[in-house]
Amino acid sequence: MGFKIGIDVGGTFTDLAVADPNGKIYFTKTLSTPGNETDGVIRGIGKAAGHFGKSLGEFLRATDLVIHGTTTATNIMLQFNGAKVGLITTKGFRDEIEIRRGIKESMFDVMLEAPYPIAPRRQRLGVTERCNFRGEVVTLLDEEEARGVVRQFRGLGVDAFAVCFLFSFLNPLHEERVGAIIREECPGAYICLSSQVLPRVRDFERVSTTAVNAYVGPGLSRYLGQLQEQVQGSGYREDLLIMQSNGGVASASQCAERGVYALFSGPAAGIAAASFIGDLIGYKDLITVDMGGTSYDVCLIKSGQPTITTDSWVSRYRVAVPMIDIHSIGAGGGSIAWIDRGGALRVGPQSAGASPGPACYGFGGREPTVTDADLVLGYLNPDYFAGGEIKLDQERAAEALRDRISRPLGMTVEEAAHAIYRVVNNSMSNGIRVVSVQRGYDPRDFALMAFGGAGGVHAAVQAVDLGIPTLIIPKAASVLCALGDLIADAKITETRSFISSVDDLDLEEMNRTVAELIETGMKKLPRDALRSVEINRYVEMRYCGEVHEVSVPIRGLTAHISRQNVRATTKDFHRLHEQLYAYRDVNNAVEILNLRVDVIGKIPRPLMEEAAFEGEDPSRALKNKRPVYFAQLGRYTDTPVYDGSRIRPGNVFMGPCVIEESFTTIVIQPGQEAILDRFFNYIIEIGERS
Amino acid sequence: MISGNLADAHRAFDPVAVEILRARLQSIAQEMSVVLERLSRSYLINEAHHLGAAVFDQEGRMLAVHLGHPSHLWALALSVKHALEKFSFDLEDGDVIIVNDPYEGGTALPEMTMVHVTLLDGENFLFPAVRVRHADVGGGHPGGLFPSAMQIYQEGDIISPVRLVKSGALLRDVLKRLVKNNRTPDLYEADLTAMIAAGRLGQRRIRELCQEFGAEFVYHAAEPILSYAARYLREGISRWPRGVSEGRAKLGGKLRGNFEVEVRVRLLVSDESIIADFEGTSSQVSQPLNCTLASTYAFSTLPILAAMGEEVPLNEGVLEVVKVEAPEGTIVNPRFPAAVSLSSGQLCSLVSEAVGSAIASRTGKVMKKVWGVVPQVIAFNEEGFLSQMSLVAGGDSASEEADGWLSPAPLGRQQIPCIEQLELEHGKRFRMMEREIVCDSAGPGRTRGAPGTRTVLRVLQPDMELTSFGPALQAQGDRVELRRGKSGDVFSMYIEKVPLQEGDSLIVEKGGGPGAGSGWRREVSAVLEDVKNGYISSEAAAAQYGVILEPQSLLVDEAGTARRRAQMEAVKDKER
């Protein structure tokens, strides 16, 4: 056994989690190097090597696995600096990606502008061909015309081709033929066929996903190639593995082909880590919240499995591959507080970001933010924020609050700070309601796990709001994504349309399709992950006439799916439908739309360090006291502040108190009780709602 | 250090708590909308989002609303009031009342409101209501759209407020009676069930809210929530010059007989309110174009909300500021039993256009179109097959800052049909041959309008009839045409119940939106991009934008362009 390295690149920091040959995990952070992520990654690995007393080369030669969460694909979609895409469609339908079914994101905002065109119209051309709704060819592919289109695109300098024909999910032959023509005409070009990227019904969803894949693919591929070359050049002998949005890892080469799966790679890793930790300490049902500078990401994990969705949008493009369902709201530490025209106090979604940042950063920010409010309320330590990297200026925070909020509303600065705290907490609680209550789950049956830099300041309030009995904050909260890279299994998701009513289902055909999906998935698994493989099969069903599907795990332990299995699965469908939409009708005909298979290759997990309890008394870790505001007490209270680095497992804390980890602050509310468990997680018992 | 009342504020009645409650009510309305979308079986609701959901206070005032289609905005509020009035002193917890009467707060017969009565300790309490457009409502023409109707009786089943659920128990006799009067009974019943399910969810959420905040607090929060919206809107219009301005919009064409109507509005902006006075508007007509009060209210409100340039908190407080005066007997407030079924796609846009132009002359800014006339096309047969083909993209106008883009209705959440889904369902009957942008359809300007689109369907099976009437109303650039595959005959404009034959082609075009400013002021590079992208031709670049391009290379002829643009400017000056 050698080292395993998990690397997560974020906007500000590059985080590393390294499992040593004994399975003990070491965490470290370096500043990210935007524009050239590779440098920061190599520097981080070098830093970790130093920790183990090795040179970079020695360290990488002794490393079995490097797993990476990357923001490259996400950033390409945020900055729109992707490939020059040439989109080939069925003749007469080249504008579907611009017509986009007429969807407009904000109903009453007439001034909302068109989305950025990732495939402008001159890079979209139709080719004569057509299949009907049964997949039968009704118009033959005009190969010469297709060749002409490819050449025209070559002339325009297109470097990524996306091909999306109507009903290609039923019959991919025409797309495959055009793929071959592209390879002949433009050897080396990046080619995406919709029948491979997303072989599912719905043309807009498919064309958009395929175009995004083509748009992010070449850039991602270049970055991963470069990184792989660098780590391999320095002594690493294995394949680089990449975290994907489905919550599992894949090889860099596989990932480069399916760029859409690399979107949200970082956040997915955090959720993988959360479910791992939850599993370890006996909480399989979790709601996770990740609070960063600009956003608050919420996810629900049921029985150790994060919810999966195919409804995602990325920078106003539809990406319909199955990915972890992360509900994101614009509420983070940098979210700006403002007063609207009706005189109501609002927080976000505008964010001061990292630059100019909250007023208290002193980087020129004048707008009051959540971080400023948290500082005024005493939750944050002005001298110890982000590991001491940033000094917080209380005067500037108070000034921004006074100018923008407290004077206009006629309240004190402290009242304004607390009002901001309440408003943002409410948005967060509503965000949690969306993934739980609104999807038929009772949050009281879950534990809340908070991570990200700012999660620990607010999470106890959400737990109280929603009646969640237990709050978990890992000591590693600020580097959780890197941990997730380290522990995630390999996972390939394959999906295909399979349209049939449940009543006259061709079971053999269904079994054949599932077997094909499994076989394709197996081929894509990294070879290290083939030792222990688990297969999860899902069927997406709906009542006849509905247009949205519910994804239902196929019941049954045998490889062959029987009638009996289908009946049990259909029963589950009725139950899930009622849970999600408060309605079921067992007499109604049910139809199947898609099949999905997750092929999971188990990767041996590092052992988490487990320490013995060392007594309840935390006084050794007591740093000092400072006045902190608690609503329940109605005033500022001189509150004990503990130094996280000196806290030992078994230490117990009675609220109110504040725990300062180097990159995270945890606020324990009055009446709550916290303990650091054997795996270095703070477990906070939430009292009754007061 | 901190005053005592902050602590009290946490428990007692305070502005932050009210804002928190408002956000919760809004999310309840939204959640009900989602349930409607998910459970409904008909395209108009589950994809075109022709729906609305709202939460009302104990007195029947709308506190929060979530819309998929603006037509439901005030129809929800007004029809709920009618329903409550009819049943006052006779309501029990768990009663559900349904109403579609356009003359009792409604718009057109397929659009129905369902009120979910909620009592607490025997008293009216906060309650939900939902509203959708059903696929059919009986009457003389499928889909509740009857171009030659003269009275509302011909347009379908008129439902004055009636109890469908009593104390939580479905009244099957009433349900049967409703469903019996419908061409698509299964669909109708499923969608009524969806409405009941959505309302019940809303009731459950309201109860949870009471547990959390206390019923007393929730009960008393209505007033501040309403006044917040009013204050918001007043603050917005405080930047507009006070005074009176006028707006007009005309529509003429042929349905059963020619018609020519005009909507006139005088807009009076004061510190307290905006009054839209429709004095002088045409009298009601015998064609089904008449626009009931709920529609007139909604489509007068839209341009005002749009002119705010941001999301305005929507609740009945808005009506404290926006006042509508519509003389009875006009097309914007017809007398029973005038026919109304075509108003929403046609006449309503005139109301918005007239009010929009009055706002523009008040504020001096280009007013984007908020609602467009749509070519309405519907295919059907006697076996209950019914397909709306009205939804096509295009028509968005330019603003001063940006070009228009493709969305079917600027203020809606309609989704146009997914081609594959459509063909999976109806692929034996027809196949889509084309759905693309039409070159040179965008209105020119310094910023240009959105391009229009063309949709072509080929008929594969001769068992349908077709009705279309949008373009009969002469909307700019819109076109519906039925080309006989065999004879080559062409039907266009107003088509009613024409049997379709195998091989026929149906062509539906939505015209482009208008541009803003003069074409010759548009950046040359932007014009060149448009030519390269095929939005406009080289000829149009020269004629409308004064940009001269070399035919093959598409290089800009700088000198030629300068000359042509100078000429265009001179002509413009002369016009002044």
CA of B349, closest CA in chain A: separation in Å?
A: 15
Contact A107 B20 (CB under 8 A): no
Quote the DSSP letter at residue B516.
B
CA of B68, closest CA in chain A: separation in Å?
A: 8
Whether B120 shows a pLDDT value over 80: the answer reads: yes
Q: What is the mean pLDDT of residues A557-575?
A: 93
State chain A's mean pLDDT as an integer: 93
Gyration radius (Cα) of chain B, Å: 25
Nearest chain A residue to B46 by CA distance is: A547
A313 — contact with chain B (CB < 8 Å)? no
CB-CB neighbors (< 8 A) of A110 in chain B: 306, 309, 368, 370, 399, 410-411
Contact B434 A93 (CB under 8 A): yes
Spell out where A462-611 has E strands.
Answer: 470-474, 490-501, 533-543, 550-553, 590-601
Instruction: Determine the 3-state secondary structure of A479 from DSSP.
Output: helix
Whether B407 shows a pLDDT value over 80: the answer reads: no
Which token pair is B301? 């409100």
Contact A634 B10 (CB under 8 A): yes
For residue B474, what pLDDT band results from cuts at 50, 70 and 90?
low
Contact B436 A102 (CB under 8 A): no
Nearest CA to B435 among B506, B376, B344, B520?
B506
Whether A354 shows a pLDDT value over 60: the answer reads: yes
Contact A546 B23 (CB under 8 A): no
> Which helix (DSSP H) or strand (DSSP E) does residue A673 occupy?
strand A673-676
CA A354 to chain centre: 20
Nearest chain A residue to B304 by CA distance is: A108
More confident residue, B473 or A5: A5
Whether A662 shows a pLDDT value over 90: the answer reads: no
Contact B311 A636 (CB under 8 A): no
Minimal Cβ distance to A102: which of B2, B24, B406: B406
For residue B10, what pLDDT band results from cuts at 50, 70 and 90?
very low
CA of A168, closest CA in chain B: separation in Å?
A: 10
Q: Give the tens place of pLDDT for each residue, A119-174.
A: 999 999 999 999 999 999 999 999 999 999 999 999 999 999 999 999 999 999 99
Q: Give the tens place of pLDDT for each residue, A366-406.
A: 999 999 999 999 999 999 887 777 899 999 999 999 999 99
Contact A415 B2 (CB under 8 A): yes
Measured CA to CA, the distance from residue B391 to residue B55 in angstroms comes to: 29
For residue B388, what pLDDT band results from cuts at 50, 70 and 90?
confident
Provide the pLDDT for residue B3.
35
Instruction: Determine the 3-state secondary structure of A153 from DSSP.
Output: helix
Whether B7 shows a pLDDT value over 50: the answer reads: no
Q: Give the tens place of pLDDT for each residue, B60-79.
A: 999 999 999 999 999 999 99
Q: Do residues B344 and B70 touch, judged by C-beta distance below 8 A?
A: no
Nearest chain A residue to B405 by CA distance is: A114
Contact A202 B421 (CB under 8 A): yes
Whether A464 shows a pLDDT value over 90: the answer reads: yes
Contact B229 A342 (CB under 8 A): yes
More confident residue, A119 or B310: A119
CB-CB neighbors (< 8 A) of B67 in chain A: 107
Provide the pLDDT for residue A531.
86
Q: What is the mean pLDDT of residues A40-49?
A: 94
Count CB-CB contacts under 10 A for residue B214: 12
Nearest chain A residue to B227 by CA distance is: A342
B31 — contact with chain A (CB < 8 Å)? yes
CA geometry: angle B57, B62, B63, nearest 5 deg: 70
CA of A506, closest CA in chain B: separation in Å?
A: 18
Provide the pLDDT for residue A156.
96
Rounded to two decimals, the ipTM of the complex is 0.93
Alpha-helical segments (H) within B181-221:
185-213, 215-220
Q: Do residues A146 and A181 touch, judged by C-beta distance below 8 A?
A: yes
Contact A415 B1 (CB under 8 A): no
Minimal Cβ distance to A423: which of B19, B204, B391: B19
How many interface pairs between A and B have CB atoms less than 8 angstroms apart?
215
Q: What is the mean pLDDT of residues B121-144?
A: 93
CB-CB neighbors (< 8 A) of B531 in chain A: none
Provide the pLDDT for residue A491.
95
CB-CB neighbors (< 8 A) of B41 in chain A: 543-546
Q: What is the mean pLDDT of residues B433-440?
A: 96
A444 — contact with chain B (CB < 8 Å)? no
Contact B47 A547 (CB under 8 A): yes
More confident residue, B56 or B11: B56
For residue B362, what pLDDT band results from cuts at 50, 70 and 90?
confident
Average the pLDDT over each of A548-557, A668-677, B294-303 and give the range with the smallest value. A548-557
Which token pair is B328? 């009875």
State chain B's mean pLDDT as an integer: 90
Provide the pLDDT for residue A472.
98
Q: Residue B254 is which amino acid? A: K
Please give the backbone phi and psi of residue A262, each rounded to the nearest 5 degrees, phi first.
-90, -5
Q: Do residues A242 and A249 touch, judged by C-beta distance below 8 A?
A: yes
> Which helix (DSSP H) or strand (DSSP E) does residue A513 occupy?
helix A507-524
Contact A341 B1 (CB under 8 A): no
CB-CB neighbors (< 8 A) of B306 in chain A: 108, 110
Q: Give the tens place of pLDDT for each residue, B13-24.
A: 577 888 889 999
Q: Do residues A435 and A287 touch, judged by C-beta distance below 8 A?
A: yes
Q: What is the mean pLDDT of residues A7-13?
A: 84
Percent of chain B having pLDDT more than 70? 96
CB-CB neighbors (< 8 A) of B43 in chain A: 547
Q: What is the mean pLDDT of residues B224-240?
A: 91
Q: What is the mean pLDDT of residues B405-417?
A: 76
A547 — contact with chain B (CB < 8 Å)? yes
Nearest CA to B435 among B465, B409, B458?
B458
A631 — contact with chain B (CB < 8 Å)? yes
Provide the pLDDT for residue B211.
87
Q: Give the tens place of pLDDT for each residue, B548-566.
A: 999 889 999 999 999 999 9
CB-CB neighbors (< 8 A) of B2 in chain A: 412, 414-415, 629, 635-636
Chain A, 590 to 619: residues with Cβ < 8 Å from chain B are none
Q: Do residues B241 and B267 touch, judged by C-beta distance below 8 A?
A: no
For residue B112, what pLDDT band results from cuts at 50, 70 and 90?
very high
Nearest chain A residue to B15 by CA distance is: A344
More confident residue, B52 or A655: B52
CB-CB neighbors (< 8 A) of B407 in chain A: 102-104
Measured CA to CA, the distance from residue A429 to residue B184 in angstroms comes to: 42
Chain B, 75 to 134: residues with Cβ < 8 Å from chain A are none
Provide the pLDDT for residue B5.
39
For residue B409, what pLDDT band results from cuts at 50, 70 and 90?
low
Chain A, 321 to 350: residues with Cβ < 8 Å from chain B are 340-346
Percent of chain A having pLDDT more than 90? 80
Task: State the best of A95, A110, A585 to mutate against chain B, taking most chain B CBs within 10 Å.
Answer: A110
Whether A432 shows a pLDDT value over 50: the answer reads: yes
Q: Residue A218 is which amino acid? A: P
Q: What is the mean pLDDT of residues A251-259?
A: 92
Start-to-end CA distance of chain A, whole Å, equals: 52
CB-CB neighbors (< 8 A) of B419 in chain A: 93, 96, 166, 203
Instruction: Determine the 3-state secondary structure of A666 from DSSP.
Output: strand
B24 — contact with chain A (CB < 8 Å)? yes
Contact A102 B391 (CB under 8 A): yes
Average the pLDDT over each of A129-143, A210-224, B26-40, B357-371 and give the range with the smallest value. B357-371
Provide the pLDDT for residue B411.
64
B311 — contact with chain A (CB < 8 Å)? yes
Contact B23 A430 (CB under 8 A): yes
For residue A659, what pLDDT band results from cuts at 50, 70 and 90?
very high
Q: Give the tens place of pLDDT for each residue, A626-635.
A: 999 998 888 9
